[in-house]
Structure 1
Amino acid sequence: MKKKRKRYDKAFKLMVVELVLAGKSPKTVSKDLEIKADYVRRWVKEYKGQKEGVFSGNGNRNLTEMEKKVLALEKELKDSKLENEILKKAVGIFSKRN
């Protein structure tokens, strides 16, 4: 059986980074908080490289306006297809009654 991957929120990651920047070693912080030292080092590296928008989480990268528009249109298309399927089923159900 696979282990479920643990996810850490932005506040937790920032707290970990602040502990390291305050002088604690990544190894000490990882032992104290029972997380992998690799995570601590990666989060510190990300924080130093990109302070604004760091740890946006779950694949939310900094998207261009065009990418945002494409994603919105894809979502709208998916919703329209779902709505269309529901309406087709409803027509089938209601036409059988008569």
Structure 2
Amino acid sequence: IEAIPAEKKLFKVRKGFVEGVSDANLNQLLDKLLHVGVINDEEMQSVNTKTRADKARDLIDTVRRKGNKASLLLMDTLHNTFKGPTLQNKYYCF
């Protein structure tokens, strides 16, 4: 059985993520991704200039373009940061 690449998994949840993630959760996620090196300062500043939905789109797309490792780190960060049925069941089910 062939595993689905993490970038494709992120793309599958993109719509739900964009529709459902709060600005506060996005900011927390951005801080953690900056800290672990998934995004850099320039990308963080670029994302932060946008509306909530555009910020969510830009974050998912930026990380997806960086490949499987970055996508896996985003997925792990989502699971470790936002534990519980509300977020994971709604749109973070990978």
TM over 0.5: no
TM range (shorter): under 0.3
Larger Cα-atom Rg? 1
TM-score if structure 1 supplies the norm length? 0.25
- Which structure shows the bigger proportion of residues in helix conformation? 2
RCO comparison, higher one (Cα < 8 Å, 6+): 2
